[in-house]
Structure 1
Amino acid sequence: MTTWHTLWDARPGWLNTASYGLPPRQAYTELQTVLDQWRHGSSDWKPWDDSVARARTAFARLIGAPAADVTVSSTASQINSTIATALPERARVLVPDIEFTSNVFPWAVAADVETVPLARLAEHITPATTAVAFSLIQSATGERAPLADIIAAAREHDTLVIADASQACGWLPITPDGIDALVCAAYKWLMAPRGAAFGYLSPRLRERMRPLAANWYSAPDPTTAFYGMPLRVAADARAFDLSPAWFCYVGAAPALELLTTLGVDAVGAHNLALANHVRAGLGLPPGDSPILSLAADPARLTAAGITAATRAGRARLSFHAYNTLADAERALEALT
C-alpha cells in the first residue's frame, strides 16, 4: 500500500468520498491563505482567478482533452441545463432507471425522458434517441456503465453521448473519445470544495448550444468585458463558463494538480485494492469500483468509527487515495 495518506489530514475511518472528498493538505493550506487575504483585504482578486486556469488545465490533463474544450461551472446540473439548449424540440433522452437527479431533471425539463436499466442502455438507443445521459459510475451502487457499447450504439444512430463523471473522475482513467459532454462535480473524487464543476464539451456539441448563462467570464478576455455591448463570447468552451466562485477553485487547483502527479491509474489501483480487500473478507467476488453497496447495519459501522453513507437502503462505503489498509480492516471488523 502507498503512503499517500500522509498528504492528507483524514480522520481514520472516513469511507464516504462518494458523498464528498477530503482536501489534500496543500489545497487546504492554499485556501486558508486566500481566506485570510480576503479577511484583511491584503490581495487583489486576480491571483485568486489564476486558480481557475490552473484547475481547468489540470482537469483537462486528467481526461486527456484540450483545455479549450473545458468549461467551468459550480454544479453538474447547471452544465447539463446549458447542454440541454442543444436539444431540438420533441427531443428524446434515454437515461438509466436509477440515476442521480442532476443528470435527470435537466433533461426532463427540456425533453421527453425514457428510463431503462443501466446495463441495457445501449440496446435501447434507436434512431429516435436524441441523446443518452448516464453516470460512468452509479452513485448508489458503484456499478459501471457499459461505456463502449453505449458509444458504439450512439454512433450508429447519431445520438449525443452525455456522461456524468462525478463518481469516476479522479480514480478511473477517462478520455472523451466518443463522448459529446463529460460533466463532473469536483467535490467528490477530485476533492475540491463544493462549488467547482467542470464540463468537457465537444466542438460538434458546442455548435448546437447557446451560452444560456453568458456573463463577463464568457468573453474572449474577461478583463475587457466588464461593461456594455456588444455581446462577445469566446470561440471555445469558455463561452459557457459561469463566473467562478474563486475560493472553490483556489481549493480545487492544488487538489487536481496532486491527482495528476499521483496518476489516475495508480490512484484507481489503490482504491480498488482496498475495496476488494473488504469484498474478499466478506466472501464476495472482486469488483471494478471503489464504491461498495452492502446489506449492512449502518449503526455497526458508526459504532466502529466508520463514516459511510446509506443509499437505496444499503450501506455505501467508498475508498480513495487517503484511505489505508487500516481503514479497510476496521470496516471488515465492523461488518463481520
Structure 2
Amino acid sequence: MNTAALRAATPGARHARHFNAAGSALPSEAVLGTVIEHLRLEARVGGYEAAVIAAERSEEVYSLAARMLGADPADIALTESATVAWHRALDAFPLKAGDRILASASSYVSSALHLIELRKSKGIEVEVLPCAADGTVDREALADALRRPAALVTVAHVPTSSGLIEPAAEIAAQCRAAGVPLLLDATQSLGQLPLDVTSGDIIVGTGRKFLRGPRGTGLLYVSPAMRELMRPSHPDVRGAVWQSDDGYELAAGARRFETWETAHALRLGLGTALREALDLTIEEINRRTTALADRLRSDLAATPGVRLTDPAAAGGAIVTFVVDGEKPVDTVRRLRAAGVHLVSVPASHGRWDLGRRGLDAVVRASVHVYNDDSDVDALTGALPAKAGKGAPALISSGARADTIVIGAGVHGSSAAWHLAQRGVSVVHLDRFPEGHTEGSSHGHTRMIRRAYPNPIWDDLVDRAYLAWSELSAAAGVPLLTTTGGLYARPASDGSPGLRGPDVVTVPSSRFAGLRLGSEFTAVFDPAAGVLDAAATMRSLRELGLAHGVDRRAGVTVESWSADGDGVTVRTADGVLRADRLVVSAGPWTGSLVPELRDLLKVVRIVNIFIGASDPAKLAPPALGPFSVEVPGVGLLYGLPAFDGSPVKIGLDHGPADGLGPQTPVTAAEAGELLALARRFLPAADGDVVDSVACRYTMAPRNRFAVGALPDTPQVLVAAACSGHGFKFGPAIGAALADLALGKQRPDLDFLAPGAL
C-alpha cells in the first residue's frame, strides 16, 4: 500500500494529524471532487435533470455496496446514516408487547435509546447481554438467553467506546441455529474489517467513517428472508407504488426502506469511496490500519501517565486511553491545539459499556490508510506534556511571560517557535480556533521565488530560502519543492520586470501548460517553487508546542498598553504581562497598532482550483508557479497541479474586506477566473472543483512593516503582507526573535514600521 500516495490524495492529511476515522474519516480528493461536480451539475441544469444524467452512476452505488458485503444489489438500501438505517429496520420489524430483544453491551447510544423507548412505549423486553472476560458478548450467556423465545439479537460489531471487536460471525451462527435474526451494527467496522452477509440478517453501516465517504450517507442490508417479515412503517413513493385509492405495493427489494428525497451528490461521493475501498481491498486496509494501531497501542503503553482502556478483545484501527490527572475532553483539546485530532467519548455515549467498566470518558484515536508513523510520533510526542515529562507550566492570567505573540499565521507561528527554541517563555494568542480560514495563511500551497523587481529584497530572499531549509529539517518533512517559475508581462510594457540571481529572459512558451502569445515577454526563475503551506502551518504549531509555547486559540485581544519596559495585554479571558510583545495579527494588525491603521488596507482575494482531463499537462515540468500581467485585468498568478491538488489561480487584487466572517467564493468571482484559465491554461478544461477566499493586508509600495514601534520599542510588529509575505514566513519569524532578544538587524531597516 502506497501510504505516501494516499496521503497526497487526501487534502485533510496536509492540515492535521487526523486520528478520527471512527468519527468521520478524511475523504479523498476524488470523493470531494465527485460531490462538488454533481452539485455544480445540479446548479447548471437542475436537481431532477442532474439525477437523470447521473442515474447510471447512482445505480452503481448499490452494486458497489453489495460487493462490499457479498450481497445482491437488491438487498441494499441507501440511507442518510447508520442510525436512520437502524430506525428503518426496527420500525419495520414485527414487534409486539412482550417480545424480547437481546442487545450487546457494546450497543451505540442511539441504538440503546431506541431500545429503551421501545421498552417504554411498546412493552418490548430489552435484555443487555453479559460480557466475557475479554469484553465480548458472553457466548454461553447468549446461548442460555436464546433458549427462551426471542424476537431479535442486536450487536455492535465494534463499539463507539473502544477498539473491541465482537466475533460477529460466531454470534450470527448461534442466532441462526436458534432461529433468531441478528441485527449487526457495522457502523465502526464497515470499511476497516472484512465483513459479509453471513454476519447478520440485517446490517447497518455509515459512509462517513472507515469507508471515507461523505457525511449524510449510510446503508442498510436486509436479507431476502427478513424482507418477507418486515414492512416499512412509513412507506414512501421511492419504495412503493400507489395502485388504488387505498392500496399500494412495496418494491421487491430493500429499496422499500428508502425515501424519495436524498442528497444525490453525497450518494455519488459514497460510490467513489466504496470503489476506492474495494480497489485497495478491505483485507489490505485491515492489515495496514491494524499494524499502525498496534504500534500506537505499544507507544501509548510505554508513555508515562497514559493508560490504555481497551478490552482484551480489542484490535483493528481503534485505540482508547486516558491520561492520568486530565479529563479526556481536555486531552483532546490540548492535542487539537498541537494539530493532532482525536475525540473524547463520554460514558453517556456507551453507558452499557463504559459505565460497566467504571469509565467516565475515554480518548479515542482511530487510524486509517492516510496515517503513517510520523502521525503516531506526533500524537505520542504531544502527550507527555500532561503525563509527567517536564512540560513547562502554563502561564496564568496576570502572570508574566518573556514574550506574548498575537496572531497564529505563518509569521506569528514562526516567531513563537524561534523564540521558544531559544529558551524564551512564549504565550501565543489567536482570536480564532485552530484551523480557521479567516486570515491569510490557510490553504494548501504558496509560491516562492528569487525573482524580485528591486535588489533591496535579495538578502531577505536568500534568508528565506535558508530558513525554509532549516524549518523542513526541524519538521522532518520537505516543505519546498523547486519547479522553476515563469513571470510574464506585456512586451509593450516599458517598466522593469522581475530580475534576480539566475533569472533569465526566455520564450513565452517555456512552460507547455501556459499559453502566452507573442504580445508577452517572460522571465524564468529556476529557483522558484511550491511551498506546502498546510504542512508548514501544522509543523510550526507542532514545533512550537514541542518547545513549550503556551498556545491559546480562540482568545481575542482587546487591547495592550506599555507597562514600564514591558507590556500588559488584555484579553477576553484575562490579563497577561510580558517583557516583549509581537503583533503579527494579519488583517487585524491595524486595529491593534493605531499608527498603522490608515496604512494597512485589507482586501478580499479568491482562488479557484480547476480540474483537467490530463492533470499532467498542468503539473511540473509542464507548468510551475507563474504570473501574467494581463492588460485591463491585473496580475493573474497560479500554481501548478501539485501533490494531488489541481491547478490553482487567482488575481492579485480584490475589493475592500470589512473583516466580517469569511464568505464563500461567488459564482461571479469564480467565473472571472475560469475565463482567464480558459485563455491562458488550455489544459485546464474541467470545472471549478474547489475555491478558497483569503485576505491580503496591503501596505504602501507593497512593502512590509517589520520591527519595533518607535514609541514603544518593547513592541514589535510584523505586517509581512502585501500578497507576497508567506514565502518569508520562517525568515521573518527568526528576525522577530532576533529583535525581541536585542539583536540588531540593519538588513531590515527598509521594512521598519516608521518607513511605511
Shared fold by TM > 0.5?
yes
Q: Is the 8 A contact 2:100 2:149 kept in 1?
A: yes
SS at 2:18 equivalent: coil
Shift of 1:34: 1.5
**Superposed displacement of residue 67, structure 1:** 1.0
Letter in 2 for 1:234: A
| Superposition map of 1:170-209 within 5 A | 170-209=191-230
**Structure 1 residues 299, 245: CA separation in 2 closer, same or farther (over 3 Å shift)?**
closer
Secondary structure in 1 matching 2:340: coil
Summarize the alignment of residues 1-336 of structure 1 with structure 2, pairs less than 5 Å apart.
2-3=2-3, 4-10=6-12, 11-41=15-45, 44-84=50-90, 85-89=92-96, 90-108=98-116, 109=118, 111-118=124-131, 119-122=136-139, 123-124=141-142, 125-126=145-146, 127-219=148-240, 231-243=248-260, 244-283=262-301, 288-296=315-323, 297-312=331-346, 313-336=361-384
Moved more, 143-152 or 64-73: 143-152
Local SS of the residue matching 1:315:
strand
The separation in 2 between residues aligned to 1:53 and 1:22, in whole angstroms, is: 24
What residue ranges of structure 1 are gaps of 5+ in the alignment? none
Amino acid in the other structure paired with 1:100: Y
Deviations 1:228-262 (A, max 9, x none): 88623221212222223212202111111111111
Matches of 1:299 and 1:248 in 2, distance apart? 30
Is the Cα–Cα contact under 8 Å of residues 32 and 269 in structure 2 kept in the other structure? yes
For residue 679 of structure 2, what is the aligned residue in structure 1?
A: none
Letter in structure 1 aligned against 2:267? Y
Retained in 2: the 8 A contact 1:141–1:292? yes
More RCO (CA 8 Å, sep 6+)? 1
Mapped to 2, the partners of 1:324 and 1:36 lie a distance apart of 34
| TM-score of the aligned structures, taking structure 2 as reference length | 0.42
- Please tell me the root mean square deviation across aligned C-alpha atoms, in Å: 2.5
Q: Encode CA deviations 1:80-99: one digit per residue, 9 max, x unaligned.
A: 22322323312111112342
Deviations 1:283-336 (A, max 9, x none): 379952211101133344223210000013111100012222211111121234
* Aligned mates of 1:279, 1:231 — CA distance in 2: 55
Is the Cα–Cα contact under 8 Å of residues 137 and 168 in structure 1 kept in the other structure? yes
Q: Is the 8 A contact 1:213 1:242 kept in 2?
A: no
Shift in alpha-carbon separation, 1:326–1:294, aligned structure 2, 3 A: same
Q: 8 Å contact 1:49–1:246 — kept in the other structure? A: no
User: How far did 1:112 drift?
Assistant: 2.0
CA distance in 1, matches of 2:56, 2:247: 26
Structure 2 Cα separation of the partners of residues 286 and 149 of structure 1 = 14
**Change in CA separation of 1:226 and 1:28 when aligned onto 2, cut-off 3 Å:** farther
The alpha-carbon distance between structure 1 residues 52 and 134, as it changes in their structure 2 partners (threshold 3 A), is farther
Asked whether the equivalents of residues 279 and 286 of structure 1 are also in contact (C-alpha less than 8 Å), the reply is no
CA separation in 1, counterparts of 2:187 and 2:55?
A: 23
Q: Is the partner of 2:103 in helix, strand or coil?
A: strand
More strand by share: 2
The answer as to whether partners of 1:137 and 1:145 remain within 8 angstroms in 2 is: yes
| Post-superposition offset of 1:215 | 1.9
Contact 1:135 1:145 in 2 (8 A): yes
The 8 Å contact of residues 135 and 163 in structure 1, kept in 2 or not, is answered as yes
Larger Rg: 2
* 2:20 counterpart SS class: coil
**Bigger shift: residues 246-255 or 84-93:** 84-93
Greater Cα shift, 310-319 or 111-120:
111-120
Local SS of the residue matching 1:330 = helix
Shift in alpha-carbon separation, 1:117–1:286, aligned structure 2, 3 A: closer
Moved more, 25-34 or 147-156: 147-156
2: CA distance, partners of 1:321 / 1:261: 13
Q: Distance in 1 between matches of 2:250 and 2:344?
A: 43
Structure 1 window deviating more from structure 2 (291-300 vs 255-264): it is 291-300
Residues 47 and 107 of structure 1: CA distance in aligned 2, closer, same or farther (over 3 Å): farther
1:134-166 deviations in whole A, cap 9, x for unaligned?
211111112111324322321232111100111
* Helix, strand or coil at the partner of 1:207: helix
Instruction: Kindly state the Cα deviation for residue 178 of structure 1 after the two structures are TM-superposed.
Output: 4.8
Provide the rounded CA distance (Å) in 2 between the counterparts of 1:184 and 1:58.
14
Instruction: Report the AA paired with residue 365 of structure 2.
Output: L
Q: Give the number of equivalent residue pairs.
A: 332
Cα separation, 2, equivalents of 1:327 and 1:157: 46
Matched residue type, 1:52: S
For residue 339 of structure 2, what is the amino acid of its counterpart?
G
The 3 A distance-change label for structure 1 pair 120 and 260 is closer
Report the Cα offset of residue 226 of structure 1. Answer: 12
TM-score, normalization by structure 1:
0.90
* Aligned-pair CA distance for 1:227: 11
CA contact (8 A) 1:193 1:251 kept: yes
Q: Is the 8 A contact 1:94 1:113 kept in 2?
A: yes
Q: Aligned equivalents of 2:130 and 2:335: distance in 1?
A: 30
Q: Given residue 368 of structure 2, which amino acid in structure 1 is its aligned partner?
A: H
CA displacement 1:99-141 (0-9 Å, x = unmatched):
2133223333253211134523532332232211121111111
Looking at structure 1, the residues matched to 254 and 154 of structure 2 have their Cα atoms a distance apart, in angstroms, of: 20
CA shift at 1:41, angstroms? 3.0
**Distance (whole Å) between structure 2 residues aligned to residue 178 and residue 15 of structure 1:** 27
Q: CA deviation at 1:168?
A: 0.5
Partner AA of 2:321 in structure 1: L
Give the distance between the partners of 2:217 and 2:57, measured in 1 at CA: 11
Q: Distance in 2 between matches of 1:264 and 1:226?
A: 43
Is this contact kept in 1: 2:82–2:219, CA < 8 A? yes
CA distance in 2, matches of 1:227, 1:102: 37
Alignment-mate amino acid for residue 22 of structure 1: L
- In structure 2, the CA distance between the partners of 1:48 and 1:219, relative to structure 1 (3 Å rule), is farther
State the percentage of identical aligned residues: 23
Aligned partner letter, 2:263? A
**Greater mean alpha carbon deviation, residues 80-89 or residues 55-64:** 80-89
Kindly state the Cα deviation for residue 68 of structure 1 after the two structures are TM-superposed: 1.1
Give the secondary structure class of the aligned counterpart of 1:31.
helix
